[in-house]
Amino acid sequence: MSHSLSRSHYLLMLLLAVILLAATSCKPSAEAPKFDTDYQVVIMTNGQVLIGKIDALNTEYPVLREVYAVTVVSDPSDPKKSTNMLVSRSREAHQPAFTVLQGRNILLIEPITKGSRMAELIEQEKNNAAQQPK
């Protein structure tokens, strides 16, 4: 009896070892999340907020296209008041068509819902940029 008990104990330990080995060798899916919205907000670990169309999310260097930055603008008449402003990065002197991000510096990514206040601000900025002389 004790001989069969030790044999079943041995088989049980072997089975647990195989299960543990299989569980630790499983890797998470390399598939990137899919966004069904036109734009996403990307918050970087340094607090910078960028908005755009994210691409190559499953790489170390995701790409953000049609990039907008959220900047804080102080009210000159009252320095304690400030507002957030959305500015197209294509208006900058070097007019970047896209921005390459370091994936490890991305804190979070969220979709921007159509019809939301942020989606409206993007449309306003696109219209403003289209009216500006190049």
Confidence grade of residue 133 (pLDDT, cut at 50, 70, 90)? low
119-126 contacts: CB < 8 A, separation 24 or more? 119/38, 119/39, 121/86, 122/39, 122/51, 122/68, 122/86, 124/86, 125/68, 125/86, 125/87, 125/88, 126/88
pLDDT of residue 3: 53
Q: What is the pLDDT of residues 23-56, one digit of tens each?
A: 666 555 567 788 999 999 999 999 889 999 999 8
Backbone φ and ψ of 117, nearest 5°: -60, -40
- What's the whole-model pTM score? 0.68
pLDDT of residue 108: 93
Has residue 63 got a pLDDT over 80?
Answer: yes
Q: What is the pLDDT of residues 75-129, one digit of tens each?
A: 888 878 887 788 888 777 788 889 999 999 999 999 999 999 899 989 988 887 7
Spell out the CATH class of 39-131.
Answer: mainly beta
Question: Is the Cβ–Cβ distance between 65 and 53 less than 8 Å?
Answer: yes
